[in-house]
Structure 1
Amino acid sequence: MIRKSIAGILSLMLVFTIFPGFTSAENNLIVGNNVILANNGSAMYKVFVHSDADSMEQHAAEELVDYLTQVTGAPFQLTVDTAPPNDPVVLVGRNALTESLVPELTGNTLGDDGFIIRKINQNIIIAGSHSRGTMYGVSLKPARLSNCQRSLFWRTEECG
């Protein structure tokens, strides 16, 4: 009983603050400044990694699923495919889709180990300039992102 209460409280606390003032009364996934990842033991998002992702990006996606499931008590699903499902997803890793949505991923804009966390439409992208950057982005756990701005860019020299 206590564990369920704690999981419920944590699921309410587990939010990304991505777009200030963005709301959607239509589906209640996005409330005010927050994106609700889990609610009352139900995962509201899936985690997606492209089937061509290397082992480090796949591991990063698995780590994120494990972490979200452990913290919220909600069973998060990992989808490994060539295209994400139509459901709201956390897109993990750099691929043609994430590069088309986030131009900063092309070239060397983010530096060697830089990463970006950005919300686009109903999806959240966590991707690095390289696989190691993606792992760093996933390692910045969602519970610690409550103060992040519209986008979060970290370059290696800033992480020093």
Structure 2
Amino acid sequence: MIQKQRFSLPAIARFVFAPILALATLSIGSAQPVAFTFNAESNVSIILPQNATLPEQTAARELSDYLTKITGGDFAVQNEPATATSTAIYVGDTAFAKSVGVVGSTVASEAWRMKTQDDNLILVGGGTRGTLYATYRFLEDVAGVRWWSPWAETVPKRGSLSVRAMDVSGKPAFAYRDIYATYGNDNGRFAIRNRLNRDGDWPIGAEYGGGRDYGPPYHVHTFFKILSPAKYYAQHPDWFVVRGPGAPTVNTAELAMSNPEMRQEFLKLLREIIRKSHQDAKDKGLPLPDVFSVSQEDNDVSEV
């Protein structure tokens, strides 16, 4: 039976809910028998799909690094069709996971699943980030790793790590998750470790699944970034509402939203921005932006 977990708490608030999180950690398979145990001498492979995505590769690298820190062992990362000599951790949409009915491509975007299969473990998720979320869940809830900030972490040192039989899945409760101004300047690593999917004004790199960012040109004050006075004012002064003399600027003007010709041109430009942004995201392997800001400049022209 699959256990459902739908909460995802950022690390910045964990100290408030430490007792609750401790109970949640203990509840994951705590009544189940131990599926396998590994230590520094164990021969454990981390196996990726044959054509692993960048986020899947990141998940495997993070898993290998932290399991080495915890146990002192060596956790080699291989791609299918690698054959595990003993216990293996299958990361991402692997053929092994599919063979036991766990198909990552059918998992909802950003949903994740941790499942033991005999003496193996499957970590998989949907969309570009789900497998990363499954990996970070395992490192936190089973291995006991804590990321307090982009620069501070706690990694337990253990002689061995036991993994109980489990089949646990979950999905973030909110589609858009961002804590403004917690930047680590780390390409989004800390954000994704905490199951955020936006990092304020900083981009989340493709290796961390990309961000659920606003589409171009920006997330606020976009009127003139879309329809520029420098290009249009000379021929269409009636497309702008200007306070005082001189050409319009972001401080002295707004678009004349009541002008139908201006609106038609604005919509044409916005559609082209959306089309191009989707193509750019596809080319880079990033999620398609689905929110575009159409908002006035930051001034008091409304008082004119």
Q: TM-score, normalised by structure 2?
A: 0.37
Query: RCO higher in 1 or 2 (8 Å CA, sep ≥ 6)?
Result: 1
User: 1:83-110: per-residue Cα shift (whole Å, max 9, x none)?
Assistant: 4424210000013331231346452xx4
Check 1:130–1:102 CA distance in 2 against 1; reply closer, same or farther (3 A cut): farther
Deviations 1:35-60 (A, max 9, x none): 2122xx22342111123111110111
| Structure 2 spans left out of the alignment, 5+ residues | 1-27, 144-162, 178-304
Partner of 2:173: 157
* 1:2-81 equivalence runs, <5 A: 17=29, 20-21=32-33, 33-38=34-39, 41-81=40-80
Larger Rg: 2
Aligned with residue 140 of structure 1, among 118, 137, 141: 137
The aligned runs of 1:80-91 (5 Å cut-off) are: 80-91=79-90
Residue deviations 1:117-158 (CA, integer Å, cap 9, x gap): 101122100011234100111112445227977211112338
Paired with 1:83 and 1:123, the residues of 2 have a C-alpha distance of 14
CA distance in 2: counterparts of 1:18 and 1:86, whole angstroms = 27
Q: Which amino acid aligns with 2:169?
A: F
Residues 53 and 132 of structure 1: is their aligned pair in 2 closer, same or farther, counting only changes over 3 Å?
same
Instruction: State the one-letter code of the partner of 1:124.
Output: L
RMSD between superposed Cα atoms in Å: 3.0
Letter in structure 1 aligned against 2:36? V
Higher percent of residues as strand: 1
The separation in 2 between residues aligned to 1:34 and 1:133, in whole angstroms, is: 23
Which consecutive unaligned segments of at least 5 residues does structure 1 have?
1-15, 22-32
Asked if 2 retains the 8 angstrom alpha-carbon contact of 1:49 and 1:93, the reply is yes
Does residue 1:112 correspond to 2:109, yes or no?
yes
Map of 1:117-132 to 2, 5 A cutoff? 117-132=114-129
Letter in 2 for 1:126: L
Moved over 6 A (4+): 146-149
Using the TM superposition, give the Cα deviation of residue 72 of structure 1 relative to its aligned residue in structure 2, in angstroms.
1.1
Decide whether aligned partners of structure 1 residues 18 and 78 sit closer, same or farther in structure 2, where only a CA change above 3 A counts: farther
Contact kept, 8 Å, 2:35 with 2:164, in 1: the verdict is no
Tell me, yes or no, if the aligned pair for 1:48 and 1:89 is still in contact at 8 Å.
yes
Instruction: Write the deviation string for residues 1-31 of structure 1: whole angstroms up to 9, x where unpaired.
Output: xxxxxxxxxxxxxxx958823xxxxxxxxxx
Percent of aligned positions with the same letter in both sequences? 20
* TM-score using structure 1 length: 0.67
1 CA distance for matches of 2:167 and 2:65? 24
